[in-house]
Structure 1
Amino acid sequence: MTSAIEHFSNRLRFETDVSDVHGDLAAGVPGLVVIDSRNTASWEQGHLPEAVHLPTREIAGRAAATVPAGSTVVTYCWGPGCNGATRAALEFARLGYAVKEMIGGYEYWVREGFPVEGAGGRVSRPVDELTAPAGAACGC
């Protein structure tokens, strides 16, 4: 039982989901910096409006100049089939930042109907009912 409690507690310490990130951004949680760790082509295709673009391979060299010390960093990549956000979170942890990975990534942000920015400006897609109840929060 203790192992299970430790495991799930750690997951909640180091992971967050798109609904919680959206809520934190909407509430203006101080010190929160959301990092898109994908490449430039992916960023230009679409990204979270409040995100900072910092590809994983550039984190070690640019984090100190890009992310204020003491920030809480949330990393994301494409989606659950990609571990790019995990690699980015590891880089930030090595640099001493408090960091969480946004599970579901960009894919689930879009599928839950949250806005994205890209070449065409800011857009939102309809909520995918397989990821979130249409017109409502999941209530977890």
Structure 2
Amino acid sequence: MKVLFNTAALFLTATLLSFGAWAEMSPETIPGANTVDSDQAKSLFDQGVLFVDPRKDSDWEAGRIPGAVHLELNKNLSEESLLAEASKDDDIVFYCNGIKCMVSAHASEQAVSWGFKKVHFYRAGFPDWKSHGYPVE
């Protein structure tokens, strides 16, 4: 019985670990957008560029890049809501929860499709921002 339990536990563990490997990775680039790393994102931040956080409310409330505007992807991100914050010629940085988060990729794609010309896709996102010791709120 103990052997059966151990075998089942091992199988379950291996199965769960394999699902983690299948987690969808965000694309490295978004057509029409500029992918930026943490240093480039910080430089844009220091220049006063608009950061948009399209993550869900609970992620937003848990922490964010200071001054970022919260426009949740499937809730209130629209061409109109984005135009209320910036013109189509302004720089805009989208970020989310890192390379396994598709939210900022989809938000960046949307902004490009709406005609925003200076979209920056911060693929590494908030976790990498924090790990660099950059300001958070």
Using structure 2 for the length normalisation, give the TM-score: 0.69
2:37 to 1, 17, 27: 17
The answer on whether the counterparts of 1:56 and 1:91 sit within 8 Å (CA) in structure 2 is no
Structure 1 moving runs of 4+ over 6 Å: 8-11
Cα distance in 2 for residues equivalent to 1:62 and 1:85 = 16
**What RMSD, in angstroms, separates the aligned Cα atoms of the two structures?**
2.2
Cα distance in 2 for residues equivalent to 1:107 and 1:10 = 20
The answer on whether the counterparts of 2:30 and 2:105 sit within 8 Å (CA) in structure 1 is no
- Shift in CA distance, 38/113, structure 1 to aligned 2, threshold 3 Å: same
Q: Who is 2:82 aligned against?
A: 63
Task: Name the structure where strand makes up a greater proportion of residues.
Answer: 1
Cα distance in 2 for residues equivalent to 1:69 and 1:37 = 18
Kindly name which structure, 1 or 2, has the bigger radius of gyration based on alpha carbons.
2
The answer on whether the counterparts of 2:30 and 2:109 sit within 8 Å (CA) in structure 1 is no
Which string of whole-angstrom CA distances, capped at 9 and with x for unpartnered residues, describes residues 65-84 of structure 1?
23233211110011111111
The answer on whether the counterparts of 2:96 and 2:123 sit within 8 Å (CA) in structure 1 is no
Say which SS state the counterpart of residue 96 (structure 1) adopts: coil
Please state how far the C-alpha of 1:115 moved relative to its aligned partner.
Answer: 1.3
Q: Who is 2:19 aligned against?
A: none
Structure 1 unaligned segments of length 5 or more: list them. Answer: 1-7, 118-140
Q: Who is 1:132 aligned against?
A: none
1:1-140 matches, within 5 Å, as 14-26=34-46, 28=47, 32-57=49-74, 58-60=76-78, 61-97=80-116, 98-117=118-137
